[in-house]
Structure 1
């Protein structure tokens, strides 16, 4: 199916999911370049900062890969991928609240919320239903 045959809501949802993944990836990489600032703000040892950043990176990569794979499956009209994307997004939002709110985390939350809205539009549901067997 050509991209222009997809409803606008589907195209927007896909763009938002992928934008979320890319934004999370770049934000995480950016934190590594700000190691000194993280250490200064937290008063942690270098090892603690490294451990913290490694944990954040690992979790971020899980979300990035999940968004990329599930978005691809969503484009293949797998309804379960839409449901799973939403659950992954909710888990991601909880993780963000656990880690703490920052400007970049607020942007991530906004991207996720917008992506969920477009993922669950009526036109998206109709597009997915067109391939289901009766």
Structure 2
């Protein structure tokens, strides 16, 4: 990563920060389980099922971000495209789940990561591999 231009290093940091933030946010929901039950008026089993679904999706997105970021660092241009597609799917998922402070932070991280991923320096960096 030492030879990567600054926009690539920033993008990588943002993608990894997004993955970690998603995992921490997902874990944090389990600590708020009682509050979720109280506010929603749902049974304990319904809340558990909901949290399990959110956890599976959160871990899946975090794993995809980690894996694709690693490939992006290996200068795989398709990984940039895949990161963006996963990010758009994640943003749509967050809009379906609902607005919260954590979701807004996640959306911000994703948007800024996409901007840095598609900067000209990042594109040139991945193109250099194809030219060799």
Q: 1:107 — aligned with what?
A: 105
Distance in 2, matches of 1:130 and 1:38, equals 50
In structure 1, stretches of 5+ residues that fail to align are none
TM-score by length of 1: 0.97
**1:59-74 equivalent positions in 2, closer than 5 A:** 59-74=57-72
Aligned-partner SS, 2:115: helix
In structure 2, stretches of 5+ residues that fail to align are none
Q: 2:119 — aligned with what?
A: 121
**1:19-30 equivalent positions in 2, closer than 5 A:** 19-30=17-28
Q: 2:10 — aligned with what?
A: 12
TM-score by length of 2: 0.98
Any idea what the Cα deviations from partners look like across 1:46-99, whole Å, max 9, x if unmatched?
000000000000000110000000000000000000000000000000000000
Q: CA RMSD in A?
A: 0.8
